[in-house]
């Protein structure tokens, strides 16, 4: 029997835009890490916000009411991330700059702006990663905001309740380093992200529903500023109408195929 393998068709307009770009922003959401085994927030029955209440797990009020439950949940998520690996999509993004430089000899800056709180872009080798919604790996004191330390050892994913550690400076509780509903995004990363969008030539949007603000403003700004915008998502997102290219593909399939095609191009 003949086996047919359908290789993902890389949009030629995207290849051309990347070849001409000297600054590229890759804007990512939970779908970027889905093929590493990390649940997304809303696009599947077993996604996080289908299973957990945002007010309980992701709001200042939820934290005030039950710190031990909230700390255990974020430690469980950190433990889950530590057991996963970057997927082929993360690796492809980390290879994009060198691949383009090998093609035309010009330096190319690739900046990742992510809504994800995992560390898979960094572990794949991306060197410029801006976290808009914080990080599971950057806890801080809820009072003095000093960086906090985790209790040593592997986080136990099965725990429903866990005492948060205390700050070594002021003895207040250490809180998860993620942005909760009702909280402002950290201003430094946000302003940096806005600047990166201003100066980029191409924005690649990967694996986000595009419904959480103000993060979703960035691809729309890129569109309004006349940048080349492309989305990689198995299903068109809310941002699709702002894209020059909507590529129906998964991150771990499409992005490596993109690198493969770029490598085949002649200088
Ligand atoms: P969502 O769960 O809202 O959306 C995930 C997106 O990924 C959907 O558009 C899916 O179609 C797409 N997707 C699923 N699998 C994919 C794959 N293998 N490859 C590519 N795309 C895939 O996640 P986000 O858009 O990241 O905020 O959610 C935004 C924010 O909402 C999160 O940062 C989080 C959440 O509440 C905070 O926690 C502050």
List pLDDT tens digits, range 88-126. Answer: 999 999 999 999 999 999 999 999 999 999 999 999 999
What's the CA-to-centroid distance between 29 and ligand 1, angstroms?
5
In this structure, the residue with its CA closest to atom 4 of ligand 1 is 209
CA of 95 to the centre of ligand 1 (A): 23
pLDDT of 6 higher than 60? no
The interaxial angle of helices 217-224 and 187-199, nearest 10 deg, is 30
> Above 90 in pLDDT, residue 3?
no
User: What is the Å distance from ligand 1's center to 143 Cα?
Assistant: 30
- The residue whose C-alpha atom lies closest to atom 26 belonging to ligand 1 is 29
Mean pLDDT of 173-198: 97
Instruction: Report the pLDDT value the prediction gives residue 156, as an integer from 0 to 100.
Output: 86
Lowest mean pLDDT among 24-33, 54-63, 146-155, 236-245: 146-155
pLDDT of residue 152: 85
Q: What is the pLDDT of residue 196?
A: 98
Q: Comparing C-alpha atoms, which of 202, 216, 211 is closest to residue 244?
A: 202
CA of 30 to the centre of ligand 1 (A): 4
Q: Pocket around ligand 1: residues whose beta carbon is below 6 Å from it?
A: 29-31, 34-35, 40-43, 47, 58, 115, 133, 178-179, 206-209, 212, 233-235, 237, 250-251
Name the residue of 37, 43, 213 whose CB sits within 8 Å of the most ligand 1 atoms, as the mutation to test its pocket.
43
Q: Which residue CA neighbors atom 15 of ligand 1 most closely?
A: 31
Average pLDDT over the chain reads 95
The residues annotated with a catalytic role in the active site are 133
* pTM of the predicted protein model: 0.96
Q: Ligand 1 test: best mutation among 32, 208, 247, most atoms within 8 Å of CB?
A: 208
Q: Give the C-alpha distances (Å, rounded to integers) separating 50 from 39, 45, 239.
A: 11, 6, 22
Q: Are 90 and 118 in contact (CB under 8 A)?
A: no
Mutational pocket test of ligand 1: of 209, 210, 237, 253, the residue with most ligand atoms within 8 Å of the beta carbon: 209
Cβ neighbours, 10 Å, residue 225: 13
- Span 212-235, pLDDT tens digits: 999 999 999 999 999 999 999 999
Of all atoms in ligand 1, which is nearest to the CA of residue 232? 20
Band (pLDDT 50/70/90 cuts) for residue 266 is confident
Cα–Cα separations (whole angstroms), residue 257 to 44, 87, 88, 96, 202 = 25, 13, 10, 12, 18
Tens digits of residue pLDDT in 70-85: 999 999 999 999 999 9
Q: Ligand 1, atom 21: nearest CA belongs to which residue? A: 207
Burial class (CB in 10 A: 0-12, 13-18, 19+), 255: buried
């Amino acid at each position: 029997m003949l086996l047919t393998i359908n290789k993902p068709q890389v949009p030629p307009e995207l290849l051309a835009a990347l070849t001409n770009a000297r600054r590229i922003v890759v804007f990512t959401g939970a779908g970027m890490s889905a093929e590493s085994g990390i649940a997304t927030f809303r696009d599947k029955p077993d996604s996080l916000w289908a299973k957990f209440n945002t007010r309980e797990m992701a709001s200042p009020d939820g934290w005030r009411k039950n710190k031990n439950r909230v700390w255990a949940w974020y430690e469980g998520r950190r433990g889950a991330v530590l057991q996963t690996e970057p997927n082929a999509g993360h690796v492809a993004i980390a290879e994009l700059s060198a691949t383009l430089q090998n093609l035309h000899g010009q330096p190319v800056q690739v900046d990742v702006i992510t809504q994800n709180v995992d560390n898979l872009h960094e572990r794949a080798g991306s060197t410029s990663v801006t976290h808009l919604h914080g990080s599971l790996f950057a806890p801080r004191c809820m009072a003095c905001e000093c960086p906090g330390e985790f209790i040593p050892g592997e986080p136990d994913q099965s725990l429903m309740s866990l005492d948060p550690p205390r700050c070594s400076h002021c003895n207040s509780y250490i809180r998860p380093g993620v942005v909760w509903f009702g909280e402002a995004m950290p201003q430094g990363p946000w302003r940096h992200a806005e600047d990166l969008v201003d100066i980029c030539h191409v924005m690649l949007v990967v694996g986000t529903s595009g419904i959480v603000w103000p993060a979703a403003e960035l691809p729309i700004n890129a569109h309004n500023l006349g940048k080349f915008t492309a989305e990689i998502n198995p299903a068109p997102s809310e941002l699709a109408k702002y894209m020059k290219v909507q590529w129906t593909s998964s991150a771990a399939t499409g992005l490596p195929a993109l690198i493969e095609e770029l490598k085949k191009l002649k200088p």
